[in-house]
Structure 1
Amino acid sequence: MVPSVASPVRMGTATGRWVVAAATLGSGMTLLDGTVVNVALRTIGADLEASLAQLQWINNGYLLTLASVILLGGSLGDRFGRRRLFVIGVAWFALASLLCGLAPNAEILVVARLLQGVGGGLLTPGSLAMIQGAFVREERAPAIGAWTGFGGIAAAIGPFLGGLLIGAGSWRLIFWVNLPIALLTLWLAQRHVPESRSSHPSGRFDVAGAVLAALALGGVTYALVQGGGGALVAGAVGVLSGILFVAVERRGREPMLPLDLFADRTFAAANAMTLLMYAALGAVLFFLVLQLQTVTGWSPLAAGMATLPLTICMLLLSRRTGRLAGTIGPRIPMTVGPLAMGCALLLLLSVDADTVYWTGVLPGITLFGLGLSCTVAPLTATVLAAAPDRLAGTASGVNNAVARTGTLLAVAALPPAVGLSGQDYADPSALAAAYPLAVAACAALLGLGGLLSWLLVPHRIPQ
């Protein structure tokens, strides 16, 4: 029997556990596919004879459509039903994952990744908004902590799982593993998750805003990745589309991104922090697993297993830090966490051909995981608490779009900025020279994020 709109639930109830499970499995797939590909890039490049630019698009194409559609997905979920959009997104994502695994060349894989991002953009805001809409207010922080903790595990376990699946047979398995997860998620959502929507529904949706957002992100990303004469045109189109997007959203009757959300200082600061943190996180995972394979000479499985402390930290600590932030407020964890992550990257600067895991990788990656666990749940809860309940899906969509945009722009911009191009991802000398510069840039982003949180995030979020 399909549940209907229900009274708010609590964490200890069966319904509460099912809602968190379905939401986490769905969003976990999108987070997993944002990182699992990193460890497979070298293998995919060799198998499909892809250039560095094509590998960037295999990574960034997914993030591009995900970030572009996620705002529209959050708005549509608020209006037409958050569970409904979540279910559509999960099914779409599964079919696109099947196509990714069947891709015969790099071009088809890029197209399939673009389609996969569309499905992710529909399901991701719904996953968090389902929690916000289902739970009583005082239970939302721990529920969000559980969601972010298990979702963070999916992101952190990506490199490890990618290495395991590549070692087991083929890089194509990293996409096909989504199929059984999607089927389980659909069953849970349809059977156990109550429907919720905005208390002020509307049948309108913002097509112009969605198109302009996609053009803005796509143009800027193309300019950063491809270079050459076409990059100037693409960059100009991207910037102009971004300006027009802001104008359309400001004047539109039913914008998918209500700009007055950013009039709240807490909401604006938390999203700025999100942009910086996820830019650093995405770029670090991109460069670290390549460095460990190309320069240090480790197998994909060994490079993936090197990130396992991230998973352990998120598993053990995220729910606890969610509760702690509810007690002491978000400012301290959102300041200490990014600063700890920045210090961790300074420890990882020295990864090279002679690195030993126990002394050269483990201390830095563990400290990074501790900082990440300290930050993610308070950050997500702060974003949602700063927005009206009727815009839970939209606020979730904004925050997820900002996170994916940060990763997208960092992975697009940093390789050329540190001198990588062509087949350099397979050249130990070229990558060894570029890696410290990229990691130092990520440490600077995290330091800036910690400072921003201390200055702009309040001690307490009004309930």
Structure 2
Amino acid sequence: MTTDAPTPARSRSAILAIASGAGFLAFLDTTIVNTTFPDIAASFPEAGRSELSWILDAYFIVIAALLVPAGLLADRVGRKRAFLVGVVLFGVTSLLCAIAPTWETLVAARVLQGVAAAIIAPVSLALVLPEFPREERATAVGIWGAAAALAAACGPPLGGLLVEVADWRWIFLVNLPVTALLVVLGARVLRESRDEHASGRPDLLGAAIAVVGLGALALALVEGREWGWTGAESAASFAIATVALAVVVRRCLTHPVPVIDPALMRIRSFRLGSIGTLLVATAFFSVILGNILFLTQIWGYSVLDAGLGTVPGPLATVVVSGPAGRLADRFGHRAVIVPGCLVYVAALLVLGSAPAEPDYVGHWLPGMVLNGIAIGLVFPTFGAAAVADVPADRFGAASAINGAFRQFGAVIGTALLVAVVGEPAPADALDAAHRGYLVAIVAVLLAAGVALLLRRVPAPATPQPRGSTANAMTA
């Protein structure tokens, strides 16, 4: 049962720390897997880059499709209970990933791990943000985003270190102590809450159809170069994606508990914030993979060196995320996002013009620092903008939907990067890498255009019920 009793500041901090730890866990498995992608490929030589890209995309697709149903189910069965189940499941599926004997079983285990992450993501913040007044929520989002950025910072060097001293399978085993700690602390500190007025069952069939649609779209993008963009296979995949996603839209308009609530999409700030989140995620996830491929395959870095080489960006994000939230609370989301997008474009131009000969200090380091600053300004602020005008009793659904848009962007970004870069000959590798950064530049420019449509100044604070049954935010 949901309590309306005010939460002491110390308890709020503890709850936020646990939620941030959960965000850390989910984001660690994004960046650490990207970093070790070349070594995973070496373990499965029978699979090409397009097949192995499903180790990344399967995780993103399942999260994108299941975030909302998982959040709604958690509203009914209890958010603390769902959080603990999700964390335990994440630990079990991480072990399955670690012992996978083939690339196909690794993809299957990543699908199951995506299910666990889809439970953790919406529930973690749904447990947190009822504890914070409206004027502090963007700051809380910034802290949660900083934890995710810290995971991004830890992922590359940790993945590289594990590959150097052991094996890529250890990138999944490191999740086990984190999940154990979260379960122990969560059981002691978190307060149970549920939506006592929830009715109807979430549209699980619609979520399954969404998985099919997103999977077909990713397949068409990844295989388009090999199949031929106008070939029969590409046309069939695009057709399946179009039909499946059209069915999902139709079900959203008619189902009582849809995957995406049309009422939320009619809120201007939510619609713009979610579209912006998708576009920034497209850039973000394409750049993560593109950076590792560039450093390892063009500059000849080891996986450890490549991981260490990307650390300054996420560290800059950690530093910037919290202050960015406070600036957004004071001056409005647009005032933070638009400059952040311009910095992002500048960073991508620097990274995308990197020469064939290594020049870390003079070229790569400035690009990574600018990239990290931009992410800290843009990513969490778009998430805060999305829920700025959402009623308090819809925060849970809004959080999950915005998170689904983020994962949809991850699917598109990863698939486009693989499609644009392909598997070029050594003589063409540099040009292919530079083309990969163009994908991100286009996405960021579109995101800046979306941000210009946001409200110029922050909305006036209005009283919000504390302890609401579905309060959450996204980063």
Q: Which residue of 1 aligns with 2:342?
A: 339
CA distance in 1, matches of 2:383, 2:409: 15
Residues 74 and 395, structure 1, Cα contact 8 Å, conserved in 2: no
1:255 and 2:251 aligned:
no
5+ long unaligned stretches in structure 1: none
Residue in structure 2 matching 1:225, options 202, 222, 225: 222
Q: Aligned pair 1:193/2:190, yes or no?
A: yes
* Displacement of 1:139: 2.9
Equivalent in the alignment of 2:352: 349
1:327-354 alpha-carbon deviations (Å, 9 max, x no partner)? 1111111111121111100001122431
Question: Among residues 234, 238, 243, which one is paired with 2:237 in the alignment?
Answer: 234
Question: Which of 392, 397, 400 in structure 2 is aligned with 1:397?
Answer: 400
Paired residue for 2:326?
Answer: 323
One-letter amino acid of the structure 2 residue matched with residue 163 of structure 1: G
Shift of 1:203: 4.9
Task: State how far apart, in whole Å, the 1-side matches of 2:326 and 2:164 are.
Answer: 38
Deviates more, 1:217-226 or 1:63-72: 217-226
Question: Which one of 448, 452, 455 corresponds to residue 453 of structure 2?
Answer: 455
The alpha carbon displacement at 1:218 in A equals: 1.4
SS in 2 for 1:254: coil
Whether the aligned pair in 2 keeps the contact of 1:273 and 1:453 (CA below 8 Å) is yes
Q: Is the 8 A contact 1:71 1:401 kept in 2?
A: yes
Which residue of structure 1 lines up, in the alignment, with residue 71 of structure 2? 74
Return the offset for 1:199.
5.7
Of stretches 60-69 and 217-226 in structure 1, the one that deviates more from structure 2 is 217-226
**Structure 2: how far apart are the matches of 1:297 and 1:88?**
42
1:239 maps to a residue whose letter is T
Which whole-Å deviations, capped at 9, do the CAs of 1:97-144 have from their partners, x for residues lacking one?
101111112111111111111111111011122122232333322222
Q: Which moved more, 1:329-338 or 1:157-166?
A: 157-166
Specify the code of the residue in structure 1 equivalent to 2:116. Answer: G
Give the whole-Å Cα distance in 2 for the aligned partners of 1:318 and 1:16. 19
What is the deviation of 1:462? 4.3
Cα separation, 1, equivalents of 2:220 and 2:31:
23
Match of 1:106 in 2: 103
Contact 1:347-1:364 within 8 A present in 2 as well: yes
1:359 matched residue in structure 2: 362
Does 2:49 correspond to 1:52? yes
The Cα offsets for residues 396-444 of structure 1, whole Å up to 9 and x where unpaired, read as 11111111111111211232234x14xx4xx533432211111022112
- Out of 4, 29, 34, the residue aligned to residue 33 of structure 1 is 29
Inter-partner Cα distance in structure 2 for 1:336 and 1:55: 36
Q: Offset at 1:21?
A: 1.4
| Cα distance change of structure 1 residues 352 and 37 upon mapping to structure 2, 3 Å threshold | farther
Name the counterpart of 1:440. Answer: 438
* Partner residue, 2:303: 300
User: Aligned partners of 2:177 and 2:3: how far apart in 1?
Assistant: 27
How many residue pairs match? The answer is: 454
What is the one-letter code of the residue matched to 1:172? R
Residues 79-110 of structure 1 show CA distances to partners (whole Å, capped at 9, x for unaligned) of 33222222221111111110111111211111
In the other structure, the counterpart of 2:19 is: 23
Q: Deviations along 1:142-166, whole A, 9 cap, x unmatched?
A: 2222111112221343222211221
Mapped contact 1:82–1:393 kept (Cα < 8 A)? no
Task: Tell me the residue number matched to 2:283.
Answer: 280
Segments of 5+ residues of structure 2 without an aligned counterpart are: 462-475
Query: Does structure 2 retain, via aligned residues, the 8 Å contact 1:8–1:135?
Result: no
Answer whether contact 1:256 1:394 (CA < 8 A) is retained: no
- TM-superposed CA distance for 1:270, in Å, is 0.7
Change beyond 3 A, Cα 1:457–1:199? farther
RMSD: 1.8
1:7 counterpart residue number: 5
Asked if structure 1 preserves the Cα contact closer than 8 Å seen for 2:200 and 2:256, the reply is: no
Match of 1:271 among 270, 274, 281: 274
Residue number in structure 1 paired with 2:373? 370
Partner of 2:161: 164
The SS at the match of 2:27 is: helix
Corresponding residue SS for 1:385: coil
Find the partner of 1:117 among 111, 114, 119: 114
1:343–1:443 contact (8 Å) kept in structure 2: no
Cα shift at 1:457 = 4.1
Cα distance in 2 for residues equivalent to 1:313 and 1:24: 18
1:198–1:391: 8 Å Cα contact kept in structure 2?
Answer: no
Per the normalisation by structure 1, the TM-score is 0.93
> 1:113 is aligned with what amino acid?
R
